[in-house]
Every structure is written in structure tokens, then in C-alpha cells.
A = this chain, B = another copy of it.
Amino acid sequence: MKRKATINDVAREAGVSKGLVSFALNDRPGVSTETRDRILTVARELDYQPSVSARSLSTRSSYAVGLVIARDPDILGADPFFPSFIAGVERALLTEGQALVLSVVGDDEHEAAAYQRLAADARVDGVFLTDLRHDDPRIPLLQRLGMPAVTLGHPETSGSEPADAPYPAVSLDDTPGVVAAVQHLIDLGHRRIAHVIGPRRMLHATRRNAAFVDTLRAAGLPTDLVVETDFTAAQGASATEHLLDLADRPTAIVFGNDPMAIAAIGVAHERGLRLPDDLSITGFDDSELARFVYPSLTSVRTDPLLWGEAAARTLLRLTTTGHADDVDLEPARVITRASTGPVRA
């Protein structure tokens, strides 16, 4: 196999200095059209591809972005959000010659370490901040590290300033989806509705629960049935057990993700309950499986693929131009299926 052509090869072949080749390839002014064309032709002939590592060293940027996922592998496997999100990211990176560096860590401690390593090694030019938390420690951490980032959704505006968010936010508003799901249940006649949410420290869990509570309250209904979980199917199942054991048990349960809702269907069946007659269930994220379980699962559809793509585009814009505007995607909406129905007379 021939050695890869370097910028020197191109320069020699084109009869110019390598500095000029660099100028021509990055189309910067100061190169005559004629010479530029000749250089580009030679580069094409030699199948010249600039060396990423040389360029990284010289420009101090890595032409890659990072994603750190802090979730237990088990949850990760069950939850289709990240794979789709990553596929979307990839779609945006592909055309830009950028790469995605992925880090999967079990807990928060390793999470901080992962960001620090990414920064220390200058592996990436920017990162995605998913699963935002309250007073998210990653934001000051990243600022200290001088690492550009894009947040999925708006972080808490801790200060009084509304515009003190240090990073552009790419948001997919999930509250309309939650509101629609809850309203759907209310319209079906449900009065005792429970909410099984993800970890409270995650912003979206509390935000969705706020939407849940608001909607119930507006309808004059009780809002006391909220159970926090870690997003695993296991905890979704035990939360369901708990709720069904209550004296004044709910007739409908809203779940924070599909795996938990599917586990709940299992629990209900196990108890001989009929769905949706005895219990209505809704999921979140509308994974592929939602259409195929029995009864098919009413779920709130977000679009992780699109979200990933938009987030990646925004991050690239930020790292290359130094600025990127917030992006708002189409809000989540409920997809009604067979797991929700009128409350039994």
C-alpha cells in the first residue's frame, strides 16, 4: 500500500510552498485562481487527505465532539433514546468530517472524570449535555474546563437573569406531550391518575411532573400519586405494584418511559387486571416496541433522531463560529393506542 500523500507531496508536485497549499485548501484569500486550481487538481490526483492529528496539533482542535452518558448499562439498553439520538448526531457529523467520541459511565463520579479526560486530552471540541439536572454540576465544570457545549433543553436559570445560560439549548418541549396524555386520561373519565417519574434530580423528570400536576390541578383532581424511579423496568414494575396495592388505587398511570410502562403492563396482567378496562397506562418516547405490546401502548412521541441531528448541528456551529442560537424543535405529542381507555363504569 502506498504511503498517504502529505501536504509536502502536494506542494512539491504543484511546485509551490506548503504554506500556499494550506491556504489554497482552506480557501483563504491570497492565492491566485490559477494557482489555486492547480493545487486543488494535484491534491485530488494524489488523493490527498489532510492528517487530522497534524491539524489538531496545530490548530488545537480535534474535529470531534463528545457524548458522555451516565446511566447504568441495563437502563441504557432498555431505553431507546440514546441509540436514536446518537444516530441523529451521526447524521449531522458525517458530512462535516467530524467524529463522535462516546463515553459511557456508571455514575456521576466517573462522569465528571470522563469530561475531564475529554478536556485534558483535547479529544473533542465540544460536548452534548443530556439529562440536565438541577444545579447541574457539569455546567460549572465545563465552564472551568473551557469546553463548549450544547444542552438538551434549557438548564435551570439559577440567577435572576433570564439569559445567563452559558450554552445554546436545543429543546424539544415535552410538556405538551405530558399535558395531552394526562388530559386524554381525564377526558376518558379517570380521576385517580398516578405518575411514575424518573430520577427527581433530572430536570425533565420534575418538569414533566410539574406539567402532570398542573393539568390535574386545573381539572380539580388530586395530585398525590407520584412515584420516583431510576427509569429501570424493574423499578417501573415495583412502582406499579405499590400503586396497585393502595386502598384508593389509581385507574391510570403515566410513566416516564416506555420500558417502565411495558413492565407495568406485565404487572397488571400478572394480577389478572384487564387493560385498559381496569387500568390505563401511558409510556414516554414512543419506542418501536410500544406498537407491538399488548395492549399497544399509548405513548408520548419525542423525536430523538431529529433531536440528535439538531443538537449536533448546533454544537458544530458553536465550535466553528463561536456562537449558535437556541433551537426549538416540534414539541412532543401523545400517540393514542389501546393501553388507555374509558374508566370502567
Partner of A74, one of B57, B82, B288: B288
Please judge, given known A-B contacts A52-B123, A76-B83, A102-B102, whether A293 and B266 are in contact too, CB under 8 Å. Answer: yes
Q: Are A103 and B90 in contact (CB under 8 A)?
A: yes
CB under 8 Å from chain B, chain A span 25-81? 49, 51-54, 56-57, 60, 62, 64, 73-78, 80-81
CB under 8 Å from chain B, chain A span 105-157? 105-106, 110, 117-118, 120-123, 144, 146
Chain B residues with CB under 8 A of A4 = 120
A291 → B minimal CB distance (Å)? 8
Asked if A256 is at the interface of the complex by the 8 Å CB criterion, the answer is: no
Q: Are B262 and A292 in contact (CB under 8 A)?
A: yes
Q: Are A288 and B1 in contact (CB under 8 A)?
A: no
A54 and B62 alpha carbons, distance in the complex (Å): 11
Asked if A86 is at the interface of the complex by the 8 Å CB criterion, the answer is: yes
Q: Are B78 and A288 in contact (CB under 8 A)?
A: yes
Q: Are B49 and A120 in contact (CB under 8 A)?
A: yes
A218 → B minimal CB distance (Å)? 33
Please judge, given known A-B contacts A259-B289, A266-B293, A293-B262, whether A74 and B84 are in contact too, CB under 8 Å. Answer: yes
Q: Are B86 and A104 in contact (CB under 8 A)?
A: yes
Interface of chain A, main secondary structure: helix
Chain B residues with CB under 8 A of A262 = 262, 289, 292-293
Please, which residue of chain B has its CB at the minimum distance from the CB of A81?
Answer: B77
Partner of A101, one of B97, B101, B270: B101
Copies in the complex: 2
Chain B residues with CB under 8 A of A76 = 80, 83-84, 87
A121 and B51 alpha carbons, distance in the complex (Å): 6
Chain B residues with CB under 8 A of A244 = none
Asked if A23 is at the interface of the complex by the 8 Å CB criterion, the answer is: no
Please judge, given known A-B contacts A234-B292, A292-B237, whether A144 and B99 are in contact too, CB under 8 Å. Answer: no
Please, which residue of chain B has its CB at the minimum distance from the CB of A265?
Answer: B294
Q: Are A292 and B263 in contact (CB under 8 A)?
A: yes
Please, which residue of chain B has its CB at the minimum distance from the CB of A55?
Answer: B53
Asked if A282 is at the interface of the complex by the 8 Å CB criterion, the answer is: no
Asked if A236 is at the interface of the complex by the 8 Å CB criterion, the answer is: yes
Q: Are B82 and A99 in contact (CB under 8 A)?
A: no
Asked if A305 is at the interface of the complex by the 8 Å CB criterion, the answer is: yes
Partner of A1, one of B101, B146, B294: B146
Q: Are B64 and A73 in contact (CB under 8 A)?
A: no
9 A-B contact pairs sorted by A residue (CB < 8 Å) = A53-B53, A76-B83, A76-B84, A77-B84, A77-B287, A97-B121, A265-B293, A268-B294, A293-B293
